[in-house]
């Protein structure tokens, strides 16, 4: 029973977690990684084995990935980046036909997640407030601008003065003009939510984003607040949701007012905090996908007010030649 982490990149912590949990159940199990350049990928260098793959958009990607899985007895694939999710969801049955499970949500949900306009409809359909979107010819400053299909905070802008707006903001059809939620009044949370194969919510861990670097939380803490009850009510069942979803919200500092921001149908970069707090999603995935066990709800399994302070570490590769 081997596991493959695709697009491993810098996801050292996530790969280590799966290695630690897998050998508890399958002592001979291996955790592998794929990357476009595994020799320069930190996570690939601590995997049991790594493989070179082309971009997911290339025609040969599917054949190469299937060959890697069948040749190396891989039973489970855990994707990590947005750009591969839709491809894997669309081809999930090809993997299942070879007895390879993919921890992936449905095509429809992933398509919604990739388009922030559609995810706004998703939130509103569940009675979750969203930030107002302005027409580009009728807005009220300050505004927050972001692309409807963006990730990692790329191409985002806080505009407080009219002179900060440029032709690029108006002409780029991907950019949305949104109501700015004042950070002096709102705290930002990423919620790690685990959905079973039955698309039922099993656990939710709100993480307060204290400091962010390159779109990923650098300092954060777990917070057992009103978001837990709110999400158990509003998002208890999400059709097509499977595995870990990371959902971002703003919560008012002085009330339980909540605003939905976006949904990512994958592990988030800050998930290690939830893992160390006790929300052991890698173990649940192994139990559900490899051992075929049913995962019970477990909303109180994690430690409240656990602070995570990240720092840079080194992966050393001896004898490397470029």
Is residue 169 within 8 Å of residue 245, measured between CB atoms?
no
Given a cut of 70, the residues of the chain with pLDDT beneath it are: none
> Topology of domain 2-104, per CATH?
Rossmann fold (3.40.50)
Output the pLDDT for position 182.
93
Do 2-104 and 110-127+184-309 fold alike per CATH?
A: no
Is residue 208 within 8 Å of residue 248, measured between CB atoms?
no
Residue 152, both tokens: 């990692």
Map out the domains of the chain as residue ranges: 2-104, 110-127+184-309, 133-179
Output the pLDDT for position 321.
85
Output the pLDDT for position 151.
75
Residue 185, both tokens: 């009044």
**Beta-ladder partners of 2:** 74
Output the pLDDT for position 125.
96
Q: Which residue has the tokens 């158990």?
A: 232
**What CA–CA distance (Å, rounded) separates 322 from 320?**
7
**What CA–CA distance (Å, rounded) separates 49 from 30?**
8
Is residue 295 within 8 Å of residue 284, measured between CB atoms?
yes
> Topology of domain 110-127+184-309, per CATH?
D-amino Acid Aminotransferase; Chain A, domain 1 (3.30.470)
Is residue 119 within 8 Å of residue 113, measured between CB atoms?
yes
Is residue 130 within 8 Å of residue 259, measured between CB atoms?
yes
Output the pLDDT for position 215.
78
Output the pLDDT for position 277.
98
Taking Cα atoms as reference points, which of 116, 96, 113 lies closest to residue 105? 113
Output the pLDDT for position 322.
80
**What CA–CA distance (Å, rounded) separates 249 from 261?**
5
Output the pLDDT for position 39.
95
8-state DSSP, 60: T
Output the pLDDT for position 76.
98
Residue 272, both tokens: 């290690």
């Amino acid at each position: 029973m081997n596991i493959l982490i695709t697009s491993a990149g810098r996801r050292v912590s996530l790969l280590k977690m799966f290695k630690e949990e897998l050998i508890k159940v399958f002592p001979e199990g291996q955790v592998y990684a794929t990357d476009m350049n595994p020799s320069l990928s930190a996570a690939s260098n601590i995997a049991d084995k790594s493989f070179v793959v082309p971009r997911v958009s290339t025609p040969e990607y599917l054949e190469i990935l299937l060959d890697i899985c069948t040749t190396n007895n891989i039973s489970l694939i855990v994707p990590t980046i947005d750009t591969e999710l839709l491809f894997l969801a669309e081809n999930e049955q090809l993997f299942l036909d070879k007895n390879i499970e993919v921890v992936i949500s449905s095509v429809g949900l992933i398509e919604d997640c990739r388009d922030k306009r559609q995810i706004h409809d998703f939130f509103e359909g569940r009675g979750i407030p969203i930030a107002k979107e302005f027409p580009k010819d009728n807005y009220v400053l300050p505004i927050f601008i972001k692309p409807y299909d963006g990730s990692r905070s790329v191409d985002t802008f806080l505009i407080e003065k009219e002179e900060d707006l440029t032709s690029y903001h108006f002409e780029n059809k991907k950019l949305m003009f949104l109501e700015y939620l004042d950070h002096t009044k709102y705290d930002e949370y990423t919620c790690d939510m685990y959905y079973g194969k039955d698309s039922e919510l099993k656990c939710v861990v709100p993480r307060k984003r204290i400091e962010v670097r390159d779109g990923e939380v650098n300092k954060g803490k777990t917070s057992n607040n009103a978001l837990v009850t709110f999400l158990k009510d509003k998002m208890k069942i999400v059709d097509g949701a499977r595995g870990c979803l990371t959902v971002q919200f703003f919560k008012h500092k002085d009330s339980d007012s909540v605003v939905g921001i976006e949904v990512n149908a994958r592990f988030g970069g800050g998930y290690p905090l939830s893992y160390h707090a006790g929300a052991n999603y890698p173990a649940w995935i192994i139990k559900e996908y490899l051992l075929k066990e049913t995962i019970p709800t477990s909303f109180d399994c994690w430690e409240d007010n656990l602070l995570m302070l990240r720092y840079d570490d080194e992966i050393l590769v001896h004898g490397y030649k470029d």
